[in-house]
Structure formats: structure tokens, C-alpha cells
């Protein structure tokens, strides 16, 4: 029997972030739930009700074989034109356009798009680092985002429930740049089992006044917290256990798609 992990923890004042050791390089078709279960064992922890796992987008994409070989890309005129402006490989620009609904900004070194799933991000999340290849000087393949990160998160949560007996919350995270601020932060591309967006309307502050802030991007904050222990470079710690996260018991679980501001409500495109 599996136990759903997403119960309200009334203490709520202490959270632990534990990067799992012993997660090997992920090959296409890999069973991530099994790899994560092994990582949990290596860390000496058992999943508890209320636990969540944050998984780097990159290993989800690898397991889903979201590679594109650049030698197989046919470059359009539009991609060639944009590549000239931004100074990137036209084949990579072609792949980015194939993953995008719209190009929002292009400038030397910068290509910000609306990804087909609605994320506004540089290069549609297409990644040319940390890919396995023999000659480090040549990029011959790139890695796309998962087809449907919320669905990936749901599958992984269910599989972890099967193999550990406890169904955790799952966030799939990536590091992205932002308008107005330097540096990248972790955000949630996919989420399952807890409220990605926490609606606090109706709650009152310490003095009984209705809150000005009515929605909290809970999954994005979890994604950013986990990124603190994942590292970006050679650390290779793509999976983080989050223990102690709480939310109001009545808040409905939502996918990370709830974090996307509808285009017509967005003043900054």
C-alpha cells in the first residue's frame, strides 16, 4: 500500500534539503525512480509522508531521450537570420524555434522565447552542456525539455510510490535567467503532489488584515532551494530530498503549469 505524502505538517518551521549521493549518469530509457530509490538508500534516508523530491530537468530529459542530433537539423532561413543576430549556431537556433511559440527578444548572446509549454526562457531551455560526447570541443547534440514536465513529475511520483511505499511530492527544476535581475535561479518546470501555486486569498495577517500577497509560487521556491545543493557544474547532484515542507491542508495540488501567467495578463512581453 502506498501512503500519500502530502499531508500538512503542523510544525512547519524547519526544512531539510538533502542532495542524494550515488545518482549515476542517466542514459535514455533509464528508470529514474529506481535510481532515486538507490540514492535514498545511499543517503541512509527512507521517504516519509510529507517528503518531496526535486529532480533536475536535465536527467528527466535524458531518461526521456530528448536528444536532438545537430547533424540531422535542417536550418530554415528564419533560424539563419536569428542566428546571425544572436551569434549562435544556426542549427541550435533552429531547434530552439522548433520548441517555441514566439521569439520575445533577440540580441547578441540573447535569445528569449516563449517555449511551446508557455515558459518564458532563454533558448527554450535547450541545453548543450553536460551532454555525453567524446570531443568536448564539438557540440553534436542538444537536449530539449521534457515533452510534458507535469506529466513526467506525476509518473515519477507514482513510480516512487510503487517502489518505496510512499508517494512523494515531485518538482522538476531548471535554472533560468530573469527580467531585471542578474544570475539564474531554480524554477519549477513540472510539479506533482502539492500546490505549485499557493492561493492565500482569505488568509489574514498577524493583525487581522487581508493579505496583500495572495499567491505564493511554492514550487518555484522549492526549486530554488533545491538548486542551492544541486550545484550547476561538476557536482552532479541532480536529486534533492526536501523534508519538512508544509502547506495548508485544504490547498489543492496543481501542476507547474499553474505558475504560467497567461499572455493577456502579462505586461512584460
Site for a second copy in 153-182 (CB under 8 A): 175, 178-182
63 in contact with a second copy (CB under 8 A): no
Number of residues that bind a second copy (CB under 8 A): 78
Pick the closer one to a second copy by CB: 20 or 33.
20
- 51, 94, 127, 150: residue in contact with a second copy (rule CB under 8 A): 127
C-alpha cell recorded at residue 222? 522549492
Contacting range for a second copy; rule: CB under 8 A; set: 67-75, 80-88, 159-167, 213-221: 213-221
The yes or no reply on residue 206 touching a second copy (CB under 8 A) is yes
Measured distance CA(86)–CA(177) in Å, rounded: 16
Closest distance to a second copy from the beta carbon of 178 (Å): 7
SS3 84: helix
x/- track of binding to a second copy for residues 221-240 (CB under 8 A): xx-xx-xxx-xxxxxxx---
Q: Which residues pair with 145 in a beta bridge?
A: none
Quick check: 147 and 66 in contact, CB under 8 A?
Answer: yes
Structure-block grid coordinates of residue 57: 530537468
Choose among 227, 198, 225: nearest CA to 213: 198
Nearest to a second copy of 81, 205 (CB atom): 205
Q: Catalogue the E-assigned strands of 108-144.
A: 110-115, 120-122, 141-143
Q: Give the nearest distance from C-beta 85 to a second copy in angstroms.
A: 13
Q: How far is the CB of 258 from a second copy (least distance, A)?
A: 7
CB of 195: closest distance to a second copy in angstroms?
Answer: 10
Beta-strand ranges (E) seen in 23-168 are: 52-56, 67-69, 100-107, 110-115, 120-122, 141-143, 166-167
Q: Is 69 in the site for a second copy (CB under 8 A)?
A: no
Amino acid at each position: 500500500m502506498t501512503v500519500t505524502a502530502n499531508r500538512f505538517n503542523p510544525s512547519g518551521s524547519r526544512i531539510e534539503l538533502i542532495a542524494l549521493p550515488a545518482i549515476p549518469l542517466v542514459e535514455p530509457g533509464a528508470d529514474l525512480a529506481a535510481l532515486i530509490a538507490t540514492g535514498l538508500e545511499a543517503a541512509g534516508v527512507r521517504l516519509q509522508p510529507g517528503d518531496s523530491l526535486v529532480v533536475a530537468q536535465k536527467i528527466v530529459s535524458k531518461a526521456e531521450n530528448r536528444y536532438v542530433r545537430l547533424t540531422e537539423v535542417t536550418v530554415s532561413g528564419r533560424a539563419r537570420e536569428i542566428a546571425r543576430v544572436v551569434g549562435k549556431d544556426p542549427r541550435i537556433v533552429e531547434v530552439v524555434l522548433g520548441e517555441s511559440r514566439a521569439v520575445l527578444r533577440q540580441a547578441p548572446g540573447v535569445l528569449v522565447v516563449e517555449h511551446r509549454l508557455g515558459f518564458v526562457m532563454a533558448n527554450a531551455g535547450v541545453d548543450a552542456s553536460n551532454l555525453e560526447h567524446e570531443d568536448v570541443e564539438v557540440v553534436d547534440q542538444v537536449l530539449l525539455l521534457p515533452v510534458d514536465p507535469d506529466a513526467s513529475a506525476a509518473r515519477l511520483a507514482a513510480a516512487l510510490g510503487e517502489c518505496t511505499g510512499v508517494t512523494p511530492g515531485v518538482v522538476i527544476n531548471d535554472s533560468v535567467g530573469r527580467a531585471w535581475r542578474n544570475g539564474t535561479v531554480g524554477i519549477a518546470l513540472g510539479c506533482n503532489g502539492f500546490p505549485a501555486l499557493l492561493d492565500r486569498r482569505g488568509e489574514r495577517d498577524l493583525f487581522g488584515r487581508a493579505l496583500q500577497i495572495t499567491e505564493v509560487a511554492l514550487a518555484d521556491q522549492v526549486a530554488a532551494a533545491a538548486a542551492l545543493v544541486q550545484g550547476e557544474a561538476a557536482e552532479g547532484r541532480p536529486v534533492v530530498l526536501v523534508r519538512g515542507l508544509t502547506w495548508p491542508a485544504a490547498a489543492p495540488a496543481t501542476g507547474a503549469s499553474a505558475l504560467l501567467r497567461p499572455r493577456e495578463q502579462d505586461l512584460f512581453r
